Amino acid sequence: MTEKAAPCVLWSWVLVSLTAAVPLTALLAVATSYLPPVWRWTLWAAWGGVLLLFGCVYLPLRRRNLRYALTEDGIEVTGGVLIFTTRRIRREAVRQVTILQGPIERRCHTAFLLVSGTGGYLLAEGLPVARAEDWCRRLYTR
């Protein structure tokens, strides 16, 4: 059964992106203070366009295309915006399953499920906590 990420995961991505954009914006302010006004406003408009495109186009498309499934064989996560990738880990290859929750995820009652195996790892983002705990028990049966 294929499932989608919770809508709250989009807001956590936006918040993290805005937090990361603050130092870059401060750096841009310092760097452009020595430029002529035409170049300064051009760079600020480009930066605003990048932030707008990232927050209003890229992140919603990424959330819309993010899917995960727990099958009899293992777990798989599909995602992407322009290029779609599917990562799978077989059930017998699973070595460690970790549930990750930050403050935003706790408030939204979601979690990330990090599955490590012999072939690598995968991250299922935006799972409801109950489902993440259930998948943790079902994947890691030792």
CB atoms within 10 A of CB 33: 8
pLDDT of residue 45: 95
Tokens representing 128? 């409801």
Please tell me what DSSP assigns to residue 92. G
- Tell me the percentage of the chain whose pLDDT exceeds 90: 54
Average pLDDT over residues 39-64: 92
Tokens representing 100? 């990750």
Q: Please, what is the end-to-end C-alpha distance for the chain in angstroms?
A: 24
pLDDT tens across 121-142, in order?
A: 999 988 899 999 999 988 876 5
pLDDT tens across 73-84, in order?
A: 889 999 999 999
pLDDT at 1 over 80: no
pLDDT tens across 9-30, in order?
A: 888 888 888 889 999 999 989 9
- Into how many domains does the chain fold? 1
**E-strand stretches of 1-142:** 2-4, 67-70, 74-79, 85-90, 94-100, 110-117, 120-128
Give the CATH number of the domain where residue 78 resides: 2.30.29
Residue span of the structural domain in which 133 resides: 1-142
pTM recorded for the entire structure? 0.79
